[in-house]
């Protein structure tokens, strides 16, 4: 008798499970049709803040209406497979990017094809504005480091983003860190302050889960996106400030650089900081006081060049180094990466006369 009573209950349970499964499948189907998977991915799983490059439009904003609207929202978009030619006065310089928007002539393999491979992160200085393809800081380090490190080959992947600040550098690292093998990270001190409307976006990004399992079902991705932020810490407290409480943009920059360095270190990788002046006018006024940057980032080995000669700078562009200027920086940074001592002051040697095409 007991069996006859439980049998209908079991059938009802089974029927309920089938109905629920059918409803879930129907909802999943509707979501797949109406919502793209990319819209449900966590921020660090998407490459939506990488490269916006169109001559000087990283200062004034892009000309294309769609790109300009994204620029106004504080977003950067990838410009893959770029093939452009620019002029710095009489000096031509070409730009080529690969399918991922990296300033590389071709694809970067998932696994290393050289003895050592490093990622260079930074703004237009690391990207190499005013330098021809093959003459950027990462390119010149590739030529110097094999002898310095006593290895046969070194690759330095150019992850620079024109107009980027520390926030964008951190975003790019989180996109590339699980996709490519690296032996270390070179961090260029950014010249650009955070966008004024970024704090709310960065808080949401920091609250996203790191290492959360991925499964392609839309329902799962949607629930994960809703629930995980509630169980993760908010944006970390700002780790540095000046004596008077400091400027928000400065403190956000330091916090992002420290978060980047800490994440690199957590993976057992070395990181180095490249320090440099802001422009030719700042360089020619005498020794540049870098202590506001070097003190809170003192855990990072660092080196940089003062670029005090006019020839270190572009012909007309006095905001970016010439190819000889990038070479001078590389001459200082390469020994640091090879195990040399850290120096928080800007070196004045070598002279910016190493390669053709330097400034007047």
Q: Which CATH number fits domain 43-337: 3.40.50.1110, 3.10.450.50, 3.30.870.10, 1.10.3720.10?
A: 3.40.50.1110
Exposed / middle / buried, residue 260 (Cβ in 10 Å: 0-12, 13-18, 19+)? buried
Tens digit of pLDDT per residue, the chain (360 long)? 455 555 778 888 888 899 999 999 999 999 999 998 877 876 555 543 333 332 223 333 444 555 455 444 443 444 677 787 888 889 999 888 887 778 999 999 999 999 999 999 998 899 998 999 999 999 999 999 999 999 999 999 999 988 778 888 888 888 888 889 999 999 999 988 776 555 555 555 555 555 567 778 899 888 887 877 665 544 333 333 344 434 777 888 898 899 999 999 999 999 999 999 998 988 998 888 899 999 999 999 999 999 999 999 999 989 999 999 999 999 999 999 999 999 999 999 999 985 544 333
Cβ atoms within 10 A of the Cβ of 4, count? 7
Query: What are the tokens at 200?
Result: 């709310």
Q: Which residue has the tokens 């916090």?
A: 255
Q: Which residue has the tokens 């609207």?
A: 69
Phi, psi of 343 (to 5 degrees): -140, 115
Phi, psi of 76 (to 5 degrees): -115, 140
- Name the pTM for this structure: 0.72
Domains of the chain, residue spans: 2-34, 43-337
Residue of 40, 43, 44, 34 lying closest to 216 (CA atoms): 40
Residue 308 near residue 283, CB atoms below 8 Å: yes
């Amino acid at each position: 008798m007991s069996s006859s009573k439980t049998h209908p209950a079991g059938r009802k349970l089974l029927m309920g499970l089938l109905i629920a499964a059918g409803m879930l499948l129907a909802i999943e189907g509707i979501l797949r049709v109406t919502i793209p998977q990319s819209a449900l991915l966590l921020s660090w799983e998407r490459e939506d803040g990488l490269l916006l490059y169109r001559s000087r439009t990283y200062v004034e904003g892009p000309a294309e209406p769609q790109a300009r609207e994204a620029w106004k929202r504080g977003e950067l978009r990838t410009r893959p497979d770029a093939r452009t030619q620019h002029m710095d006065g009489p000096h031509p310089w070409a730009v080529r990017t690969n399918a991922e928007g990296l300033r590389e002539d071709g694809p970067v393999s998932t696994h290393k094809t050289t003895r050592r491979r490093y990622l260079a992160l930074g703004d237009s200085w690391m990207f190499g504005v005013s330098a021809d393809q093959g003459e950027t800081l990462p390119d010149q380090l590739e030529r110097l480091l094999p002898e310095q490190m006593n290895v046969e080959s070194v690759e330095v992947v150019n992850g620079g983003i024109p107009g980027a600040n520390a926030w964008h550098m951190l975003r790019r690292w989180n996109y590339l860190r699980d996709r490519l093998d690296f032996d270390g990270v070179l961090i260029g001190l950014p010249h650009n302050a955070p966008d004024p409307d970024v704090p709310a976006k960065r808080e949401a990004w920091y609250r996203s889960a790191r290492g959360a399992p991925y499964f392609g079902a839309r329902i799962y991705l949607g629930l994960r996106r809703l629930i995980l932020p509630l169980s993760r810490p908010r944006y970390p407290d700002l780790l540095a400030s000046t004596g008077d409480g400091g400027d928000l943009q400065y403190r956000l920059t330091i916090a992002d650089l420290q978060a980047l360095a800490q994440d690199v270190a957590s993976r057992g990788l070395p990181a180095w900081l490249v320090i440099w002046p802001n422009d030719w006018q700042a360089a020619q006024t005498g020794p540049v006081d870098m202590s506001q940057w070097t003190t809170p980032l003192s855990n990072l080995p660092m080196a940089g060049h003062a670029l005090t000669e006019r020839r270190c700078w572009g012909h007309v562009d006095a905001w970016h180094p010439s190819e000889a200027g990038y070479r001078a920086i590389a001459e200082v940074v390469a020994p640091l990466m090879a195990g040399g001592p850290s120096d928080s002051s800007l070196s004045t040697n070598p002279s910016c006369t190493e390669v053709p095409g330097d400034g007047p």
